[in-house]
């Protein structure tokens, strides 16, 4: 394949199915970043690279069952989540909590040098509080908050990644945010307004109420 070829994802997947090794490498390059972030965010920690490698292998094996025209990213993320869940269960919850805290620290936004140190400190404090508050949510609520606001994937892809109807994503997210608001009080500040606006954008985008049936199970 010529370098820099701008194929659509569907074309790349078709070439992978046809045995094109470079197309598979292209698919891996495109999605490795978000897959690693997901593995770490859900608690894989030092095993994140192994989890992602296994997830890509299982995705490759399961491509024959992948629905033509469906987005690849949420399908892959569902496989990553399943692999991470297996890893976390074998390692124990304590390590998973520590790994999520490490992810949160690493996900701090870049603060310009000229920024007010008090503003930067407040942003870090809010993220620390948010990470602690997440541990008080149910597993499903943590999953949906992580997808929407740590991985920053939209509502439709969150539904596909988690295998839930979009209505379930909305209701669990709303319950989770209400719990976080009660736990944190006004600490979320303008971040909650931005989240509300993001939800409105998802509503305008539409896209059906059911998750696609690709679960990535091998």
Q: In this structure, is residue 218 part of a structural domain?
A: no
pLDDT of residue 123: 63
Q: In this structure, is residue 4 part of a structural domain?
A: no
Q: In this structure, is residue 53 part of a structural domain?
A: yes
Q: In this structure, is residue 49 part of a structural domain?
A: yes
Give 217's pLDDT tier (boundaries 50, 70, 90).
Answer: very low
CA–CA distance, 62 with 217 (Å, rounded to integer): 7
> pLDDT for 19-57, tens place per residue?
999 999 999 999 999 999 999 889 888 899 999 999 999
| Cβ burial, residue 107 (10 Å; 0-12/13-18/19+) | middle
Q: In this structure, is residue 48 part of a structural domain?
A: yes
Count of domains forming the chain: 1
Cα distances (Å, whole numbers) of residue 46 to 61, 106, 200: 25, 14, 36
Residue 9 has pLDDT above 50, yes or no: yes
Q: pTM, whole model, 2 decimals?
A: 0.71
- Our CA angle for 157, 218, 24, nearest 5°, is 70
How many percent of the chain have pLDDT more than 90?
A: 49
Q: In this structure, is residue 212 part of a structural domain?
A: no
Q: In this structure, is residue 1 part of a structural domain?
A: no
Average of per-residue pLDDT across 6-27: 91
Q: Could you tell me the sign of the dihedral formed by the alpha carbons of 103, 109, 111, 115, in that order? A: negative
Q: In this structure, is residue 213 part of a structural domain?
A: no
pLDDT of residue 110: 37
Q: What is the CATH number of the domain that holds 103?
A: 1.10.10.10
pLDDT of residue 150: 85
- Please, which residues have CB within 8 angstroms of residue 180's CB and are 6 or more apart in sequence? 130, 133, 134, 137, 145, 188
- Please, which residues have CB within 8 angstroms of residue 125's CB and are 6 or more apart in sequence? none
Domain residues for the domain of 65 are 9-205
């Amino acid at each position: 394949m010529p370098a820099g070829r701008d194929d659509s994802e569907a074309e790349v997947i078709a070439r992978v199915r046809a045995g094109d090794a470079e197309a598979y490498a292209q698919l891996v390059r495109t999605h490795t970043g978000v897959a690693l972030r997901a593995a770490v965010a859900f608690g894989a920690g030092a095993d994140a690279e192994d989890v992602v490698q296994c997830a890509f292998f299982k995705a490759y094996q399961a491509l024959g069952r992948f629905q033509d025209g469906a987005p690849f990213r949420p399908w892959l993320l569902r496989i990553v989540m399943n692999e991470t869940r297996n890893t976390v269960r074998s390692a124990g919850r304590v390590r998973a909590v520590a790994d999520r805290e490490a992810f949160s620290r690493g996900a701090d936004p870049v603060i310009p040098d000229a920024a007010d140190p008090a503003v930067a400190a407040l942003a870090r404090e809010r993220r620390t509080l948010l990470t602690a508050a997440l541990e008080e949510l149910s597993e499903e609520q943590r999953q949906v908050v992580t997808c929407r606001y740590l991985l920053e994937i939209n509502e439709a892809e969150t539904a596909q990644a988690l295998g839930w109807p979009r209505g379930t994503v909305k209701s669990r997210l709303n319950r989770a945010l209400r719990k976080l608001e009660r736990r944190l009080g006004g600490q979320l500040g303008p971040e909650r307004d931005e989240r509300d606006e993001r939800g409105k954008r998802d509503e305008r985008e539409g896209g059906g109420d059911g998750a696609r049936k690709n679960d990535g199970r091998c």
